[in-house]
């Protein structure tokens, strides 16, 4: 029977630390600010928006809310992002996805300067993660300041995407060995699967990425020492698809017809095979929000430093 990877407990620890840092920045004249941009009223986005607002309030981060109708034009949206780029009160922006289908989301995401791209979705942030220029954040262990040869590279201005960053933090917190282990990831999105694969590679795991066209998914998942599922398909991962003793991380969020929330993993059968498992809710979700707050503070800490060359072009 698996033990639980308690994301809520880790998130509370991270938020306590963030709260202290917010207070100390305030003493130095820096009021930490997070922008939240919501277009339309997608229920999942509204829920994430409200959860993040509440979390900001609890740690003392000032939330700057931008709620736009789904009729907003691309020009208006881009002008809004340009204004945020130059707004010194805002240290990072959370853009709730998806944007309306007629809007080119990549165009909007890439208009945000990397210094405020605290969810690491822009092409520059993605490139820096892929080039191992921003992975100092996951190579350095939680709560320590071990210097690294990467520490002084200019790319420390980049941020890691919050959900996969949270997965790595959760595994580190529970001292799950990663180096040399086989991590199998299901899902290849830019928000979760792909950056998570890059982070596992940076930590020298052997990585397999699966997706909806993968043949015989079970033959892949049964090889995993660490199995991460991020598909949004309830019940996709059953006990017979998991190697005994594997660590199972369920990133998926699915709302069932009775209103309950569940992940991708059939918890009842998988808990009997795994050694560690995340619950849904209470696993990856709370850590994602905590990482967003941590990234915002990290950005604010840099706000009194000289801007890098990519800023104010
Ligand atoms: P997405 O729709 O962009 O990507 C889903 C991925 O799953 C795709 O790569 C697809 O190929 C793969 N997939 C779909 N069906 C599959 C199948 N039957 N077998 C194998 N692979 C399959 O979604 P996303 O943004 O990456 O999010 C994935 C899930 O994670 C969703 O449930 C989302 O709500 C959840 N999520 C949770 C958090 C959190 O904080 N816990 C954050 C972001 C996303």
Percent of the chain with pLDDT over 90: 86
Here the tokens at position 139 are 């190579």
- At residue 28 the predicted structure's pLDDT band, cuts being 50, 70 and 90, is very high
Cβ 249 under 6 angstroms from ligand 1: no
Q: How far apart are the CA of 196 and the centre of ligand 1, in A?
A: 12
Protein residue with least CA distance to atom 3, ligand 1: 189
Same fold? 28-131, 163-285: yes
Question: Mean of the pLDDT values across residues 265-294?
Answer: 98
Which pLDDT value is given to residue 156? 58
Q: How far apart are CA 3 and CA 6, in angstroms?
A: 9
Cβ 212 under 6 angstroms from ligand 1: yes
Q: Which of 187, 237, 252, 293 to mutate to test the pocket of ligand 1 (most atoms within 8 A of CB)?
A: 187
Q: Please, which residues have CB within 8 angstroms of residue 157's CB and are 6 or more apart in sequence?
A: 114, 115, 302, 308, 310
Q: How far apart are CA 46 and CA 43, in angstroms?
A: 5
Q: Which atom of ligand 1 is nearest to the CA of 166?
A: 40
pLDDT surpasses 60 at 152: no
Domain limits, the chain: 28-131, 163-285
Protein residue with least CA distance to atom 31, ligand 1: 232
Class in CATH terms, 28-131: alpha beta
- At residue 307 the predicted structure's pLDDT band, cuts being 50, 70 and 90, is low
Which pLDDT value is given to residue 305? 72
Helices (H) and strands (E) in the chain, counts: 11, 11
Q: What are the tens digits of pLDDT across the range 70-108?
A: 999 999 999 999 999 999 999 999 999 999 999 999 999
Q: How far apart are the CA of 264 and the centre of ligand 1, in A?
A: 9
Here the tokens at position 66 are 């931008």
Cβ 214 under 6 angstroms from ligand 1: yes
Q: How far apart are the CA of 189 and the centre of ligand 1, in A?
A: 7
Query: For the domain 163-285, what is the CATH code?
Result: 3.40.50.720
* Mean pLDDT estimate for the chain: 93
């Amino acid at each position: 029977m698996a033990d639980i990877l308690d994301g809520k407990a880790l998130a509370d620890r991270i938020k306590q630390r963030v709260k202290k840092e917010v207070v100390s920045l305030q003493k130095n004249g820096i009021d930490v600010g997070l922008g939240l941009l919501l277009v339309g009223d997608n229920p999942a986005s509204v829920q994430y928006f409200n959860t993040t607002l509440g979390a900001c309030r609890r740690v003392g981060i000032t939330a700057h809310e931008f709620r736009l109708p789904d009729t907003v034009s691309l020009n208006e949206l881009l002008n809004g992002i340009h204004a945020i780029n130059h707004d010194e009160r805002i240290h990072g922006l959370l853009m709730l996805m998806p944007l309306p289908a007629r809007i080119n989301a990549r165009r909007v995401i890439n208009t945000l300067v990397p210094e405020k791209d605290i969810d690491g979705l822009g092409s520059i942030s993605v490139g820096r993660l892929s080039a191992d220029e921003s992975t100092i954040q996951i190579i350095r262990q939680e709560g320590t300041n071990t210097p690294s040869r990467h520490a002084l590279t200019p790319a420390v201005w980049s941020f890691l995407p919050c959900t996969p960053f949270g997965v790595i933090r959760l595994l580190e917190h529970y001292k799950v060995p990663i180096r040399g282990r086989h991590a199998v990831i299901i899902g290849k999105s830019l928000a979760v699967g792909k950056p998570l694969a890059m982070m596992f590679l940076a930590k020298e795991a052997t990585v397999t990425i699966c997706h909806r066209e993968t043949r015989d998914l079970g033959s892949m998942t049964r090889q995993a020492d660490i199995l991460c599922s991020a598909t949004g398909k309830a019940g996709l991962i059953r006990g017979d698809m998991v190697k005994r003793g594997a660590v199972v991380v369920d990133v998926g969020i699915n709302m069932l017809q009775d209103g309950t929330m569940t992940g991708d993993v059939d918890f009842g059968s998988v808990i009997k095979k795994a050694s560690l498992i995340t619950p849904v809710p209470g696993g990856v979700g709370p850590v994602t929000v905590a990482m967003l707050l941590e990234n915002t503070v990290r950005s604010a800490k840099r706000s009194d430093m000289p801007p890098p060359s990519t800023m104010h072009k």
